[in-house]
Amino acid sequence: MRTRKLGKLEVSALGLGCMGMSSAYGPAADKADMIKLMRFAHDRGVTLFDTAEAYGPFVNEELVGEALAPIRDKVVIATKFGFDIDLETGERRGGTNSRPEHIKAVAEASLKRLKTDCIDLFYQHRVDPAVPIEDVAGAVKDLIAAGKVKHFGLSEAGVGTIRKAHAVQPVAAVQSEYSLFWRGPEIELLPALEELGIGFVPFSPLGAGFLTGKIDENTAFDPTDFRNAVPRFSPEARKANFALVDAITVIAENKQSTPAQVALAWLLAQKPWIVPIPGTTKQHRLEENLGSADIELTPSDIVEIDAILAKFDVVGERLPEAALKMTGL
């Protein structure tokens, strides 16, 4: 697989989001199967694997650490800090916590779970309104100086926050939602990242699965699936939004590909420093996603997709109200 740069960090053009292997989309998948899947992904050229202390909490980091231990020197592991989680019990206390001493304690705990001596990319998961971003960047700068972290990232941060952090410690990557289903980053974020030389890592690049075409208004989610609480995934919204999938499916058929592959290829075509991280628990879906890296969308394809998007208004917010308040977009 071809590679791309997130700041100075070189990674595969597509990464693997690992959250759904342990949480958020229903019961955790089989551990042995997920270890096999991550190693298969690496065999297919994936070098960027994305996790966080909050996924579980803790269990996803442990899974990723075990899966990648035999190939640790060949992969890039990204993890995150910033939620208020008890480091002993894993209890979620609600809200954020990016106090410098907590960041450093999280880093030590993550290093142990990931079975490594250095975190390649350490993101602030959500901006903490109680802690100046300069202090956060300073704490990560200390960790980099100590050899415990290599690169600094931010997730769902606004442009002003990014600029302030970048002035203290260069930011390698910003992670936020971006897809055919949500194009908010195009307004201010992408121009700022291009100016600053920061890479962009879209999460939910397939609209939390909707852009695969396998979800419609009749789809029933597991009771523990976070999409049950997302306005965009109400049955009414799904019924209305499927018109977008129908339109992309026509383009996919002309390219002898799938809607998911077109959605990922479209992201890759936006900027050379964009690295999507689609997640999956199934090998055939992983292979499908990775196939998007070989799809070349022509300028006329992009114009056609842009025309479709210009006529389409997505129904429903991308996150519940409380979660939206924690983002900078």
- pLDDT of residue 49 exceeding 80, the answer is yes
Question: Would you state the pLDDT for residue 173?
Answer: 99
Question: Would you state the pLDDT for residue 294?
Answer: 96
Q: What is the 3-state secondary structure (H, E, C) of the chain?
A: CCEEEECCEEEECCCEECHHHCCCECCCCCHHHHHHHHHHHHHCCCCEEECCCCCCCCHHHHHHHHHHHHHHHHCEEEEEECEEECCCCCCEEEEECCCHHHHHHHHHHHHHHCCCCCEEEEEECCCCCCCCHHHHHHHHHHHHHCCCEEEEEEECCCHHHHHHHHHHCCEEEEEEECECCECHHHCCHHHHHHHHCCEEEEECCCCCCHHHCCCCCCCCCCCCEHHHHCHHHCHHHHHHHHHHHHHHHHHHHHCCCCHHHHHHHHHHHHCCCECCCCECCCHHHHHHHHHHHHCCCCHHHHHHHHHHHHHCCCCCCCCCHHHHCCCCC
Question: Would you state the pLDDT for residue 211?
Answer: 98
- pLDDT of residue 329 exceeding 90, the answer is no
Of 25, 55, 123, 178, which is the active-site residue?
Answer: 55
Question: Would you state the pLDDT for residue 237?
Answer: 98
The string of pLDDT tens digits covering residues 121-140 is 999 999 999 999 999 999 99
> Confidence band (pLDDT; 50, 70, 90) for 255?
very high
Q: What percent of the chain has pLDDT over 70?
A: 100
Question: Would you state the pLDDT for residue 214?
Answer: 97
Residue 55 designated active-site = yes
Write down the mean pLDDT value for the chain: 97
pTM, full prediction? 0.98
- pLDDT of residue 328 exceeding 90, the answer is no
- pLDDT of residue 32 exceeding 90, the answer is yes
Which fold is adopted by the domain 3-324?
Answer: TIM Barrel (3.20.20)
Question: Would you state the pLDDT for residue 94?
Answer: 85
The string of pLDDT tens digits covering residues 53-110 is 999 999 999 999 999 999 999 999 999 999 999 999 999 998 999 999 999 999 999 9
Question: Would you state the pLDDT for residue 165?
Answer: 99
Question: Would you state the pLDDT for residue 268?
Answer: 98
Question: Would you state the pLDDT for residue 160?
Answer: 98
Stretch 242-255: mean pLDDT: 97
